[in-house]
Chains A and B, each alone.
Chain A
Amino acid sequence: MEHIPAPAIDFISLAPALILSVFGMLVLLMDLFAGKNKNLLVFASLVGLVLAGVSAFAPKALPVVSFGGSYVVDHLSVFFTLIFVFSSALTILLSIEYNPRNGIRAGEYYALILFCTVGMILLASATDLIMIFLGIEVVSICLYVLAGIKRGDVKSNEAALKYFLLGAFATGFLVYGMTLLYGATGTTKLAGIAEVIHSGQTNSDTLLLLGTVLLIIGFGFKVASVPFHMWAPDVYEGAPSPVTAFMAVGPKAAALVAFYRVFATAIPEIGTTWDTLLMVVAVATMVIGNFGAIVQTNIKRLLAYSSISHVGYLLIAIIARNSLGGSAIAYYMMAYAFMIFGTFGIVILLGEKNSENLEIKNYAGLGVKQPAIALCMTVFMLSLGGMPPFAGFIAKFYIFGAAIKEGYVVLVVIAVLNSVVSLYYYLKIVVLMYMKDSERELELSMGPITLAVVAIAVFGTIEMGLFPDPILQLTQ
């Protein structure tokens, strides 16, 4: 009888994912005994997230490579772990008051958010195609369910079904791309693929190229880039608002970091063959995202299109395929997390029991009736539009810097022009808040916790805009 040697596992570098898995199962079990009161579940989930965030700093020397080079904990993955933990915590905080009002009482909600976070953390550290696939699936499956967790609501059902069908289809493309890449190089490890390409020993260059194209389709769907973006507006609109904010930040960041790792570490050497294609996708994503957003009348759909356009900017960092691009994505997503959670916090604040007040015209008169909230909204809108001195400006600045360093000047010019276009619809909301009046009473329907999230977001948006250096250093 042959014994299988136990593999050496560095549990410390795995700690965030392990802690969250345990807490996810714990929350599921606690739900059995908690009864109607979900506060205990919320508390346990938040404790798990905080512990995971702290344990991300536990590895003494970075990077830690484990599992034969299929799992790497480096500065990038630690920072992304922080983004994930942070965005999941904010999602849970936003849900505390939102869920009971909107009839979401399932305790599994919190467990699914934790499992989704596990998937995201694994995705940020995965340097093996199989791990990347599993990470994406864990994240996606949790999201399908979270999108449809408002079971009495037709739009939520539609969102879940649409997301599931299209997502499963896109996963097919992703897996097919991965198999072709494996077929061409004979390995699933990203570093191994790069090595084989470098030595020129691929089985077939065309296979490699086809695999790359299919990977662009698969990842393109997961990050909602044009022309694979059609699901985003419907899903963002139908999903419960905290989940929408969650989807726009965490899972998107996770898919982007995997996208970046595959394209910047495994196949950068054949970059000249795929960067044209990715450039077309990036430009189309920016243009269609921004012009699509202009005509929207529903705030969640508008934010969906705006989030599509932001992916366009982020793709530029992947095209640049240098280490600067990686930290630019990390910084951007952190800034984006603050902006989006703040905006959705306000969207949730203005909702009522029977109507969520999602039309943009509902925001008329906010400047007079709720001056503080209107001011916060203005900060978020200006930051999303990339105006200084807010976080959005610095974030775009780093992305464009990474691209210019590699000589993609035209791409950056197009992106800057697009940010100008985007200002139109962001400022439209600001104008509506201050210049128009409404007869309707605008009352804040939520309590202090949602307000606190908005306050944290405002602080973060301004702080990251004024003092970008400490955060940027964390990403490098």
Chain B
Amino acid sequence: MELLIFYPLAGFCVLMGLGVIISSSPINSALSLIAMMMGLAGVFVLQQAHFLAILQIIVYAGAIMVLFMFVIMLLNLKSAEEDTWSIRPQNTYVSVLTGFLALGALYKIACVISQAKLDSPAAVPDDFGTVVRVGTTLFTDFVLPFEVASILLLAAMVGAVVLAKNKID
């Protein structure tokens, strides 16, 4: 039963992920990314991580991606429609070869993962994925990574401002 929901969801995510790279206009790419996030949230729900699923939708699909869309539309709506950006590989043979190699590696990974003797789902505790549990984990075991992430975001923000501000002083 679980697999019956999982495979369509996973397939949807992969398709939308492909859509992000293949589509010719940035708007379509961003929309595909939002759809992909939604699909991913569905996978989280399937894994009993309801709170994470909601966060995924609110934070990524909701806030970040909408901001993305605004930026794209405000900046270059016109050029986005006119120029279709195509990627031309400089050396077709090498690209095709590496593509096949990557495909082979992916196939191998898929084979291995499908055969791995993973723990049965029963190992998951009752309160897994609840707000209390996520909060407790975040503020006890992962309090250092949590705080470091704030330094990371600060540095990224400062960096973005330095590189993007209009006036070069």
B116 touches A203 (CB 8 A): yes
- Would you list which residues of chain A between 172 and 223 have a CB under 8 Å from chain B? 183-184, 186, 203-204, 206-207, 210
Nearest-neighbour CB distance to chain B for A5, whole angstroms, equals 7
Stretch at the interface among B36-44, B85-93, B136-144: B136-144
Cα–Cα, bound, A2→B136 (Å)? 10
B94 close to chain A: CB less than 8 A = no
B125 close to chain A: CB less than 8 A = no
B21 close to chain A: CB less than 8 A = no
Stretch at the interface among A103-111, A423-431, A437-445: A103-111
Cα–Cα, bound, A68→B151 (Å)? 21
A390 close to chain B: CB less than 8 A = no
Nearest-neighbour CB distance to chain B for A319, whole angstroms, equals 23
Task: Please give, as numbers and ranges, the residues of chain B lying within 8 Å of A186 by CB-CB distance.
Answer: 119
A67 touches B143 (CB 8 A): yes
B148 touches A112 (CB 8 A): no
**A134-B148 CB under 8 A given contacts A141-B155, A145-B159, A204-B117:** yes
Q: Mark B112-127, 1 if CB is under 8 A from A, else 0.
A: 1101111100000000
A204 touches B115 (CB 8 A): yes
B132 close to chain A: CB less than 8 A = yes
B148 touches A138 (CB 8 A): yes
A106 touches B169 (CB 8 A): yes
B152 touches A203 (CB 8 A): no
A410 close to chain B: CB less than 8 A = no
B154 close to chain A: CB less than 8 A = yes
A400 close to chain B: CB less than 8 A = no
Q: Mark A107-142, 1 if CB is under 8 A from B, else 0.
A: 010011001101100100000101100110110011
Task: Please give, as numbers and ranges, the residues of chain A lying within 8 Å of B159 by CB-CB distance.
Answer: 108, 112, 141-142, 144-145
A28 close to chain B: CB less than 8 A = yes
Cα–Cα, bound, A130→B144 (Å)? 10
Cα–Cα, bound, A106→B136 (Å)? 40
Residue in chain B with minimal CB distance to A20: B151
Cα–Cα, bound, A134→B148 (Å)? 7
Nearest-neighbour CB distance to chain A for B76, whole angstroms, equals 18
Task: Please give, as numbers and ranges, the residues of chain A lying within 8 Å of B117 by CB-CB distance.
Answer: 203-204
Task: Please give, as numbers and ranges, the residues of chain B lying within 8 Å of A122 by CB-CB distance.
Answer: 148
A149 touches B162 (CB 8 A): yes
Nearest-neighbour CB distance to chain B for A133, whole angstroms, equals 9
Number of B residues whose C-beta is below 8 Å from A? Answer: 33
A151 close to chain B: CB less than 8 A = yes
Instruction: State which of B118, B119, B136, B169 has its C-beta within 8 Å of the C-beta of A105.
Output: B169
A115 touches B154 (CB 8 A): yes
Task: Please give, as numbers and ranges, the residues of chain A lying within 8 Å of B118 by CB-CB distance.
Answer: 203
Cα–Cα, bound, A4→B109 (Å)? 39
Cα–Cα, bound, A130→B145 (Å)? 7
B116 touches A207 (CB 8 A): yes
Residues of chain B having any CB pair with chain A under 8 Å: 108-109, 112-113, 115-119, 132, 135-136, 139-145, 148-149, 151-152, 154-156, 158-159, 161-163, 168-169
Residues of chain A having any CB pair with chain B under 8 Å: 2, 4-5, 7, 9, 21, 24-25, 28, 67-68, 70-71, 105-106, 108, 111-112, 115-116, 118-119, 122, 128, 130-131, 134-135, 137-138, 141-142, 144-145, 148-149, 151-152, 160, 183-184, 186, 203-204, 206-207, 210
The 7 A-B residue pairs with the shortest CB-CB distance in the complex, in nearest-first order:
A145-B159, A204-B116, A206-B112, A115-B155, A134-B148, A7-B140, A108-B162
A-B contacts, 14 listed (Cβ < 8 Å)? A4-B136, A24-B151, A71-B144, A119-B155, A134-B149, A137-B152, A145-B162, A148-B163, A151-B163, A203-B118, A203-B119, A204-B112, A204-B113, A204-B115
